[in-house]
Amino acid sequence: MGRYVIRRLLQGLLTLGIVLFLLHYLMALSVQIRGNPAILFFGGDRTPPPAMLAQVEKLYGLDNACYDRPGDPCLVPFVERLQRYASGDLGTTLNGNRDVGDLLAIYIPNTLRLFIFSTLTLVIVAMLLGTWAARHRGGFIDHTVRGTTILIDSVPVFLVLLAYVYLAAVPLTNWARDIWGADTFMGEVFSPSYDPDHPWTTIIIPGIIVGTVGLATLTRLVRASQLENLGSDFVRTAKAKGLPNMRITVVHVVRNSMIPVVTGVGYIFAFALSGAVLTEGIMNIPGMGRMIFQAVQRQEVNLVIVGLTVTAVVVVIVTLIVDLLYAALDPRIRYE
């Protein structure tokens, strides 16, 4: 196990190095082709004096001559960037000169909250429906579950969010506040947009909606895995011992069917951290996806690179954790 962890960590570091270099190279190409983003510091429409522009370029690390040569990978600025990241200096933004680390401290917690509720929704619903379908294989319930999850998964998330915001949120909020009051949990949970004063409460509904992404796939994986385990030797032995069906399902079948669920959790974590742009945009949630999207619009190259770097780091860590959980869930898996 120890050698496997070390090997995976080294692979993860190599992956991060490649990702960082590709991000840096794409940024360099963008500067070389589209022009120096330091001009945005002066408002974009103004032509600053050369001396002032040179000072701003030096401040943001854009003064290297390689940015004037199309195709140049700019290796020296790349090494300098790695050194700054290693020392904890993530730089500042061009617009507003805000510290990137402070922005991450605002955006990351909201994305984690979205991930918690979306993961709980996906895991609980998929496990219940997958188990129910497996116990009634080939029957009406099995076909209904598979058809319903496919129908839910086929509806775009942004369409569900828009329907909720413009059709359901306001009536539900008014109804809840009339009964329980405006400052109560129920009075805030149906809010049509994110409220920074109630960060946990107003992110529940968006998290549940995001949790429906991939529901059909994970439900079918759970169903297939449980059907495989239901026909295994250890389940037949448990039945021969006279164990109750509930105990066989929970202790033997469900536990050995958790591998696809763990894989799904890792996938939705990466999605919630970097890809929930529409959800965060529609619900006004200041999260990582929205931050990266706005940074691209504003040509905040440093903020884009830092945001994607954080995403890559988390994806690598989550992938490693998922691989290690495989052995804990299934004793038949060995790493040596």
Domain boundaries, the chain: 2-86, 100-329
Q: Which residue has the higher pLDDT, 238 or 36?
A: 238
The per-residue pLDDT for 331 is: 61
Amino acid (one-letter) located at 333: I
Task: Pick 281 or 4 by higher pLDDT.
Answer: 281
Q: How confident is the model at residue 204 (pLDDT cuts 50, 70, 90)?
A: very high
pLDDT higher for 167 or 2? 167
Query: At the topology level of CATH, where does 100-329 sit?
Result: MetI-like fold (1.10.3720)
pLDDT at 185 over 80: yes
Q: What is the mean pLDDT of the chain?
A: 82
Average pLDDT over residues 125-145: 89
Tell whether the model's pLDDT for residue 44 goes beyond 60. Answer: no
The answer to whether residue 33 scores a pLDDT higher than 70 is yes
pLDDT band at 232 (very low <50, low <70, confident <90, very high): confident
Residue 40 clears pLDDT 70, i.e. is over it: no
Cα–Cα dist 287/108, whole Å: 6
Banded pLDDT at 336 (limits 50, 70, 90): low
> Is residue 274 scored above 60 in pLDDT?
no
Residue 109 has pLDDT above 70, yes or no: yes
Greater pLDDT, 169 or 311: 169
**pLDDT bucket at 254, cuts 50 / 70 / 90:** confident
Percent of the chain past pLDDT 70, that is, above it, reads: 89
